[in-house]
Amino acid sequence: MDDIQSPVIPIIADMIASHPGTISLGQGVVYYGPPAEAYTALATIREDDSLHIYGHTAGLKSLRQQIADKLRLDNQIDTQQGYDVIVTAGSNMGFLNAILATTRPGDEVIISVPYYFNHEMAIRMIGCEPVLVNTSDDYQLCIDAIEKAITHRTRAIVTISPNNPTGVVYNRTMLEQINALCDECGVYHISDEAYEYFTYGQAQHFSPGSLENAAEHTISLFSLSKAYGMANWRIGYMVIPKHLQTAVYKIQDTNVICPSIPSQLAASGALAAGRDYCDKKRAVISKNRNIILSELEEIGDICSVSDNQGAFYLLLKVHTELDDMLVIKHLIEDNRVAVLPGSTFGMLPSCYLRVAYGALDRENAAEGIQRLKQGLSDIVRH
């Protein structure tokens, strides 16, 4: 465990706590909570004593059916075509389940840089090797480089779209190519789709699990944390090939026995509200995005901005030789604004910063970006 990087969000949170009044452009959460239907569904726990004993390892049958209906409607994934649905304590658990079910110690998992730090941490924790493949200058996947990185020890290729930390959305053709490559080489395609409902402009989310003949090698991960404002409820789900069912059941039973019943009931209510709930809330996030992108254009000489079309992140490359954590320290202490370091996402040695804007109202978004602009200007230009 000493070789595993420490999760950066608690570190930044402690720095924020020491400097009251800091506006956080760091943690990836939304500004809203669950829909009313989630609380209504949660109240039914008082009506059924059987809900207080251990439940099914894969989750409530009724919730799994709701998820299957949602997958068919929103993702064009037909779970009857060789898939199984497993309810998890968030998509992070889904990812760990997937890696444990498909690898042995010493195996390799290909992840593109910048990566989501918890993915890299999970791969290392179980004794596997993350194989890092650079993305293009605009943070798109490099198919040829990924193909060249495949060895006899490769077990999976991971994609995240819409992407954390860049906000980039991979198009259908690109994801089709990755999925076909996985099929050809006999490895799994792990598709993290936690931000599926957060796209802007002409960008569209695509689920590779919907492709014909994808069910044998595609693992899809989803979360209610973002779309339904349920980050602390720890509820998500994974869609797996049926041949992995026994392995995932073993892992989940050992780790958590069964998903939390209160969170499952709330999830059922949230899914009943449907994606319209998120779509309406996303309008505020979209306005925040526009504010931030517009303001950052004014300091284009000192930082470059990722092509943000999804999620609620953008990645800044700051034109400085300073270490990213030192820059963040200055931003918090001198300007009362916080972001996350790009190094935790594998972006080294240059100075990169991840900016998150999902948790802000318009007033805080405007103030936060002004503080960030001023702070970066002071740091780089002076």
Does pLDDT of 381 surpass 90?
Answer: no
Q: Tell me, what's the pLDDT at 20?
A: 95
Q: Tell me, what's the pLDDT at 294?
A: 93
Per-residue confidence at 378, pLDDT binned at 50, 70, 90?
very high
pLDDT in tens, 214-223: 999 999 999 9
What the block records as the tokens of 158 is 């991971």
What is the rounded distance in angstroms from the CA atom of residue 338 to the CA atom of residue 18?
A: 12
DSSP string spanning 149-163?
H--TTEEEEEEESS-
The fold of the 8-33+276-381 domain, in CATH, is Aspartate Aminotransferase, domain 1 (3.90.1150)
Question: What is the mean pLDDT of the segment spanning 253-265?
Answer: 96
Count the helices and strands in the chain (H runs, E runs). Answer: 12, 13
pLDDT in tens, 179-216: 999 999 999 999 999 999 999 999 999 999 999 999 99
Question: What is the mean pLDDT of the segment spanning 46-56?
Answer: 89
C-beta of residue 177 within 8 angstroms of C-beta of residue 143: yes
Q: Which helix (H) or strand (E) holds 67?
A: helix 61-70
pTM for the full predicted model: 0.96
Give residue limits of the domains in the chain. Answer: 8-33+276-381, 36-273
What the block records as the tokens of 237 is 């789900």
Does pLDDT of 299 surpass 80?
Answer: yes
What CATH number belongs to 36-273? 3.40.640.10
